A and B are shown apart, each in its own frame.
Chain A
């Protein structure tokens, strides 16, 4: 399988702080790849570095085998790679209607036929055309995240970068958004890179994943291995225990 996107020895530093330390991943075309770890482990930084939102100090990122410029990404890149952010309350412009929000990427990329595309994008994320002229404050968290997904999908990218797309949502709404993401990936044969701190979510959505800690990848494994407990790294085991939820120690009873 061909790598759609890959990072080689990628390093990101903020002054003296190494946010990413020699990280390499490769994601095949059509694959869904997960990144897990706690806050500050560098999982979001990796995603942001791929999107061109973090200062790259070393290493390289390749799209379809071609190395990307460390500082500048052209429009063609963003036409192919789009990102969905964690907080749907912060990532939508508060004074723009849904219609205006969805026009923006079309205008930037010079895509015509806006009318039809907007209606189709809204339909695809399960919101009817009645949502078109609402402001984001008139929407619930789950609806906002659907708009953010529609905004990313409207220019028909190949790769979606998902930064904790459901962690700000209720469990019941999370299920709906995860189903939506799976559905569009199947329909459009998209490649996903998904960041989450929830092992349940990542194993549900992704075939392979990388566990990160302090800016490094500590383990790479398949979801199957993770579920079956074929884990070699102590930190991954720790995450596994945590994801099982709270267990009262018998001694306390």
Chain B
């Protein structure tokens, strides 16, 4: 099977006054129609990896890869116009916090319709119907009413569902979810994950799920990539996580306080310089 996405030796760096900051340092993986998790701490380069695939790396950053290929298109060589046509229609991205990533002065429905009409030639009436159907697909009751609401009028969980609806309406083949539930309540998190899981399975999309929560990612994805200081330190099948070899992966797994485990003090990561080498 030909992988949908091939990333080979991806590097992203930012020139700053104090020198070059290398956020991503040689990341390679391939993705088919599967669920891949990328896990790491803040600053590990996981989000920049996702953004590089999406084409959202800031203009002043330096980006290079020996291959960054999406379904036959070389993403780094492709002109801006081609990337624009991919972004949103074939590759979509869900961001962390609906409070900041939805347009505050535009109704939810209009934002969804805007996405749809940017990528497909549909009439107003049909666009509205499809947007409402999509809102229903993300299990928003009373979709007609929510269509006309502005982002500040809905809860975080509802906003995040609206974002999922917006990202999926153009029928993307690859979905990048960057901490899609970190800003939500625990009880709402599960609802949103369940919806995401169902839609990804139904539509046969490829999913890159970026999070700092290793347990969450492992319960959601087929395969997990663990990143540290811009590199992949371990790649492991989600079911095999208990047998993780790298001390960093084991540390991430063990540092969460869980119900019923009585560990005082909690084990903390003993960061070794050679991990970043």
Task: Give min CB distance, A194 to chain B, whole Å.
Answer: 12
User: Which of B26-34, B66-74, B257-265 lies at the interface with chain A?
Assistant: B257-265
What chain A residues lie within 8 Å of B215 (beta carbons)?
245
Task: Give min CB distance, B54 to chain A, whole Å.
Answer: 23
* Contact of B120 with A by CB under 8 A: no
* Contact of B156 with A by CB under 8 A: yes
B184-211 residues with Cβ-Cβ distance < 8 A to A are 185-190, 193-194, 197-198, 201
Known: A39-B185, A182-B265, A248-B197. A226 touches B259 (CB 8 A): yes
What chain B residues lie within 8 Å of A243 (beta carbons)?
186, 259
Interface of A: prevailing SS: helix
Known: A172-B251, A239-B186. A178 touches B266 (CB 8 A): yes
- Which one of A171, A173, A242 contacts B213 once the chains associate, using CB atoms below 8 Å? A171
B207-224 residues with Cβ-Cβ distance < 8 A to A are 212-216, 219-220
What chain A residues lie within 8 Å of B220 (beta carbons)?
246, 248
Known: A38-B185, A39-B156, A175-B256. A248 touches B219 (CB 8 A): yes
CB <8 Å contact, A175 and B266: yes
User: Which of A9-17, A22-30, A54-62, A199-207 lies at the interface with chain B?
Assistant: A199-207
What chain A residues lie within 8 Å of B266 (beta carbons)?
175, 178-179, 204
Assembly CA distance A238 to B189 (angstroms): 13
Known: A172-B269, A175-B266, A239-B186. A246 touches B41 (CB 8 A): no
Please list the residues of chain A having a beta carbon within 8 angstroms of any beta carbon in chain B.
38-39, 140-141, 170-176, 178-179, 182-183, 197-201, 203-205, 226-227, 238-249, 252
Which 8 pairs across A and B sit closest by C-beta, in order of nearness?
Answer: A204-B257, A175-B255, A179-B265, A175-B266, A242-B186, A38-B185, A200-B257, A246-B219
